[in-house]
Amino acid sequence: MIPRIDDALPAHALDPFRKLPGHTRTAPGLERRLWRRLPAILLWGSALPLGFALLRLWSVGPDDEAAAQLQAYVALGVLLLHWTLVLTVAFGCVIVMVMKGPAYVADAYPFPERDASRGG
């Protein structure tokens, strides 16, 4: 019979998500409120430039095609900028939520002993 790797390890070493005893979570703040509003911000921020561009393209006359095309490109640029900003805010929210979460046992390493010969 081939020995399994978990036979040689203690039971607590196999649980990578064991929380540090005594650690409390930080209360949610602005990041949770932003996280909940991001879908609506993404939807409205995408619909408005697209709506204006489509309205302008729909009402264009034969002599306004160049201006309408320029406005469509501007609307596309605003849309891409908006998506980039929403994605950046979402990354920030996730980072803050992870950092406010519980501490795990892997985080609790003891400090190294001071070396007296180094003058410290």
pLDDT at 80: 95
Q: Positive or negative, the Cα torsion across 87, 91, 96, 102? A: positive
Computed over every residue of the chain, the mean pLDDT equals: 80
pTM for the model: 0.67
Domain boundaries, the chain: 31-99
Q: Which of 4, 23, 20 is nearest to 109 (CA)?
A: 20
Q: Which of 4-13, 57-66, 90-99 has the lowest mean pLDDT?
A: 4-13
- For 61-83, the pLDDT digits (tens) are 777 778 878 888 888 999 999 99
Q: Tell me how far apart the terminal alpha carbons of the chain are, to the nearest angstrom.
A: 52
Model confidence pLDDT, tens digit, residues 80-98: 999 999 999 999 999 999 8
What's residue 10's pLDDT? 56
The amino acid at residue 93 is: C
